[in-house]
Amino acid sequence: MVLTGFNITEYLIPIVLGVAIGLIIAFWRNSRGLKATYLLPEDFRANMRKGQLIDIRTKEDFQKEHINGSRNFPNRQALQSLHLLRADQPIFLYANSDTGIVKALGRKLMKKGFKPVYILTGGLDNWPYPKK
């Protein structure tokens, strides 16, 4: 049986466009308002006392050096310790760098209702001030 006058592009293009638009809308809705703010070390230092300062590195790294006044919640422990954080105060996060784990944790905290979340640009490796 041969279909005459059947043009696959008549059906394929609307389907592909519909799926693409649906994915764009889904990703846009999930990411809306869930972006942590990156602060330069100067701004981070000037504002970190107005919120909760969280170091998400390992305990060993934290004991070697950290920003004075920070609490240590290693990455996996941070989500299990949400009851120790206050949702009504900003959260200031840092790790050795500002990518990967700290970015993902900031997003997860925002999904859990902790807003705003600030991340130290460049992480502790970029911190020019004295460390404890």
Identify whether 67 is part of a domain: yes
Kindly report the CATH number assigned to the domain that includes residue 96: 3.40.250.10
Query: Looking at the domain assignment, is residue 25 inside a domain?
Result: no
pLDDT value of residue 57: 93
Provide the residue range defining the domain that includes 119: 37-126
Give me the percent of the chain exceeding a pLDDT of 90.
46
* pLDDT for the residue 24: 81
Q: What is the pLDDT of residues 42-83, one digit of tens each?
A: 999 999 999 999 999 999 999 999 999 999 998 778 788 888
Peptide bond into 130 cis (omega under 30): no
- Which secondary-structure segment (H or E) carries 75? helix 75-80
Given a cut of 90, whether residue 34 has pLDDT beyond it is no
Rounded to two decimals, the pTM is 0.73
Q: What is the pLDDT of residues 91-110, one digit of tens each?
A: 999 999 887 889 888 988 99
Number of structural domains found in the chain: 1
Q: Which residues pair with 72 in a beta bridge?
A: 55
